[in-house]
Structure 1
Amino acid sequence: MAVEGVQQIRRMRGGAQSHLMLGTDGHAYVVKFQNNPQHPRVLVNELLATRLAKAVGLTVPTCEVVEVSEWLIKKTADLDLDFGNYRERCKPGLHFGSQLVGGLMPGQTADYLPEERLEEVRNLEEFAGMLAFDKWTCNANGRQAVFHKRTREKRYAATFIDHGHCFDAGEWRFVDAPLRGVYARNIVYRQITGWKDFEPWLSRIEALAADKLWEIMDTIPPEWYDGNAEELELLGERLLERRGRVRELITDFRESSREPFPNWERPLEERGTGRFAEPEWADTLHEGKFRGRLM
């Protein structure tokens, strides 16, 4: 069931030109509209990736489908999108909403911290888990995070946001590259000394049940993917196939010229053909197994 948007609060920064809106549940949502300047599929990417990240235990905002009425759009002069040489009214209907990190309550929120404060982030170890997730989902953008602390807290906590470029944004393909989907500053990876530091998130990705993926996909409004269930199912199948490649993709990043893990303790594994052993579930996945799942 969708949350109804009842008031626009302000415009937000970013390529999708989101609007901060108040919902009937009392929460503030960063809303991305179907007719955003990037691609309608970024709404699919946001909902799917956010809920998958939450399923493996990563710190992401709660997300909902937000319904914005034609009446509200007509009554709110600022609910539009800038396409450069013209402006377009936001489209009424069902859109993606991510709860505002920190909400509207007092506190401090930042999208940048100096290194001495970044090292003190309470859940800094989650950047390793998020790296595994971004490699799995082929995030074509740099990893985005915001940092929040309540008024009396001394240390910030990171929340991972903006998953619209997972699956290569509107392309829904997986073009892997070592430096894709990584945080801009190496300091967040300095504590990584081996595979144990990617746990428990890496093992949860590798063991994610297919039923959980399809359950999340069932919550995506068909208008976000133009009713093309076959392409969405293919995306799901590719994600399931990629569960066993995440270590390989992390290793490619580890061996890159960026040298992100200076404190890695173990020697490089013998990679052979460049593929890791397939997990036990791999032999149950065959071409077309899930075809028609969302029809």
Structure 2
Amino acid sequence: MLQVTQYIQPLPGWSAPHLVLCSDGNHYVIKLLSNPQGIRVLVNELICSQLAKRMNLPIPDGKVIFIPEGVTGCPPAQTGPHFGSLFIPHGILHPSDLDLARCTNISQAADMILFDYWLDNNDRHIWTQDKQNLIIAGGPEPKLWMIDQANVFNGPHWNAETLLNKMNNYKAYWGTLYQRFVPFIDGTHPFRESLAKLHSLTRNDLFHAASNIPVEWGVSEQDVITLVNYMEHRRNAMNSLIQTIIYNFPVWYKHYKYHGGTI
């Protein structure tokens, strides 16, 4: 298991993350078992990281990371498995429209929106100066990254009962961030490729993403089964749900209205 070798510094955020150096030589943003939002934050992050990898979505590589005893500077009593995501250096946290336009993968903004709807991520659409769940890696080929998946499954305090209750509760969140993406992804079928990626996942893929979770994180076998059923059930509704936001996309809406277009 990947281990912390050096503590660097605390970072801002609701989950009180920390920057660390690990045994593979890379820096990670680590969220602790004792984070203020609860252990399910770690579960949500790990599941999303594994799903994103299978779908080729822009989420920093996520790992289970162990903090051994004796690492100077680490918060006390934190030995055990935590979640860490690969640190994106020189990231732009408050990108302008020009920064977004320069991203080599800006078309994946459609993937981001659909992914959030599928897993009921209820806060990425919000865009304020002190809260945004994306980052742009700078350099000659800037890239858009999705960060902070803590609020998937409608928040970090889910259990089997809440998942069952939310399974048929679909909401197409819309806000400033998604609106900023529109000029870059609008077209006759802006979500066609994103939907194809989503539907390419098998039930075994979903089980794999929900099963590789440390026992210390308290996810039961029943939780895993309910999670997989939840993800599979909601995925089947995404073609219809995504069409409810068509009015925010001028080109898509015009094509659909006047040319009989479909998603």
TM-score scaled by length of structure 1 = 0.75
Contact 1:35 1:90 in 2 (8 A): no
- Residue in 2 that maps onto 1:145: 134
Picking from 140, 155, 165, the partner of 1:169 is 155
- Residue in 1 that maps onto 2:205: 212
Contact 1:33 1:90 in 2 (8 A): no
Please list every run of at least 4 consecutive aligned residues from structure 1 whose deviation after the TM superposition is greater than 6 angstroms.
none
Secondary structure at 2:149 match in 1: coil
Residue type at the aligned position of 2:186: I
- Residue in 2 that maps onto 1:121: 103
Structure 1 residues 113 and 241, CA gap change in structure 2 (3 angstroms): same
Contact 1:45 1:166 in 2 (8 A): yes
Query: What is the CA distance between 1:266 and its match in structure 2?
Result: 2.4
Paired with 1:117 and 1:171, the residues of 2 have a C-alpha distance of 34
Paired with 2:53 and 2:219, the residues of 1 have a C-alpha distance of 26
| 1:222-245 Cα deviation digits (max 9, x unpaired) | 221x24221232011110111111
Paired with 1:250 and 1:217, the residues of 2 have a C-alpha distance of 24
Paired with 1:161 and 1:205, the residues of 2 have a C-alpha distance of 19
| 1:212-262 Cα deviation digits (max 9, x unpaired) | 1112223111221x242212320111101111111222223334xxx3x12
- Residue in 1 that maps onto 2:128: none
Residue type at the aligned position of 1:22: L
**Residue 195 of structure 2 is aligned to residue 241 of structure 1:** no
Structure 1 residues 253 and 171, CA gap change in structure 2 (3 angstroms): farther
> Among the aligned pairs, what percent are the same residue?
25
**Residue 214 of structure 2 is aligned to residue 228 of structure 1:** no
Paired with 1:131 and 1:121, the residues of 2 have a C-alpha distance of 16
Structure 1 residues 232 and 124, CA gap change in structure 2 (3 angstroms): same
Contact 2:68 2:80 in 1 (8 A): yes
Paired with 1:233 and 1:141, the residues of 2 have a C-alpha distance of 25
Aligned length in residues: 242
- Residue in 1 that maps onto 2:118: 136
- Judging by fraction of residues, say which structure has more helix: 2
Secondary structure at 1:167 match in 2: helix
Query: What is the CA distance between 1:54 and its match in structure 2?
Result: 1.8
Structure 1 residues 217 and 185, CA gap change in structure 2 (3 angstroms): closer
Contact 2:188 2:256 in 1 (8 A): no
Contact 1:145 1:158 in 2 (8 A): yes
Contact 2:113 2:178 in 1 (8 A): no
Contact 2:8 2:20 in 1 (8 A): yes
Contact 1:123 1:157 in 2 (8 A): yes
Secondary structure at 2:53 match in 1: helix
Residue type at the aligned position of 1:97: G
- Residue in 2 that maps onto 1:160: 146
Structure 1 residues 268 and 132, CA gap change in structure 2 (3 angstroms): farther
Paired with 1:215 and 1:53, the residues of 2 have a C-alpha distance of 12
Q: Matches of residues 85-124 of structure 1 in structure 2 within 5 Å?
A: 89=76, 91-102=78-89, 108-124=90-106
Query: What is the CA distance between 1:268 and its match in structure 2?
Result: 5.5
Paired with 2:196 and 2:33, the residues of 1 have a C-alpha distance of 34
- Residue in 2 that maps onto 1:37: 36
Secondary structure at 1:119 match in 2: helix
Paired with 1:185 and 1:130, the residues of 2 have a C-alpha distance of 9
Paired with 1:55 and 1:178, the residues of 2 have a C-alpha distance of 24
Contact 1:57 1:201 in 2 (8 A): no
Contact 2:211 2:224 in 1 (8 A): no
Task: Quote the RMSD (CA, aligned, Å).
Answer: 2.2
Provide structure 1 residue ranges, at least 5 long, that are not aligned to the other structure: 81-88, 103-107, 270-275, 277-295
| 1:2-25 Cα deviation digits (max 9, x unpaired) | 200111111111100110111000
Larger Rg: 1
Contact 1:39 1:169 in 2 (8 A): no
TM-score scaled by length of structure 2 = 0.84
Contact 1:5 1:66 in 2 (8 A): yes
Secondary structure at 1:126 match in 2: helix
